[in-house]
Amino acid sequence: MNIAIASDHGGFELKGQLIEYYAKKGIILQDLGTHSTESCDYPLIARKMTNAVLNKEADLGILICGTGIGISIAANRVKGIRAALLYNAEVACLAKQHNNANIVVFGGRTQKFEDVVSYLDAFLNAEFEGGRHLRRIGELDE
């Protein structure tokens, strides 16, 4: 699975921690930026990620801003994107099982690294259930 990761300045530190952690597990996260803690605009970061996902340059995107809220709003404005702000393991599983989220979102200033790893792992280990959920996902883009 090809996974891309991007953040604004509020998620820069968490992004770096995730890249390092998953690299040690043999999983390379493609870094789409930002590359410093200098203030930047999360809508531009979200646009870069949504383009990568829609153009199939990434199978899954991980977005991070200070709270995860702004960047998830920006991503979800794009047709074909299903960005889910993950805040516990159950929600992480359901985001995959029911919504087949193609971008997962975290808050760099509001979530602990260890928690984010457990939520991301729960998401990655879950499987989309299809069925009635597939119909509903189709309705999102109508």
Q: 102-138 pLDDT, tens per residue? A: 999 999 999 999 999 999 999 999 999 999 999 999 9
Instruction: Report how far residue 89's alpha carbon sits from residue 81's, in angstroms, rounded to the nearest whole number.
Output: 21
- Tell me what pLDDT residue 142 has: 86
- Tell me what pLDDT residue 54 has: 98
- Tell me what pLDDT residue 100 has: 98
CATH number at residue 8: 3.40.1400.10
Gyration radius of the chain over CA positions: 14
Write out the residue range of the structural domain in which residue 75 sits.
3-140
Which one is catalytic: 9, 35, 98, 133?
Answer: 98
Active site residue 98: yes
- Tell me what pLDDT residue 112 has: 98
Query: Average pLDDT in the 90-98 region?
Result: 98
Per the listing, tokens 């299903």 go with 82
Count of domains observed in the chain: 1
User: 46 pLDDT band (50/70/90 cuts)?
Assistant: very high
The yes-or-no verdict on residue 15 having pLDDT over 90 is yes
CA trace torsion 106, 110, 116, 119 (10° rounding): -70
The yes-or-no verdict on residue 73 having pLDDT over 90 is yes
Query: Average pLDDT in the 66-83 region?
Result: 98
Q: What is the pTM of this model?
A: 0.97
Calculate the alpha carbon distances from 107 to 9, 24, 52 in Å: 11, 23, 21
Query: Average pLDDT in the 35-40 region?
Result: 97
User: 141 pLDDT band (50/70/90 cuts)?
Assistant: confident
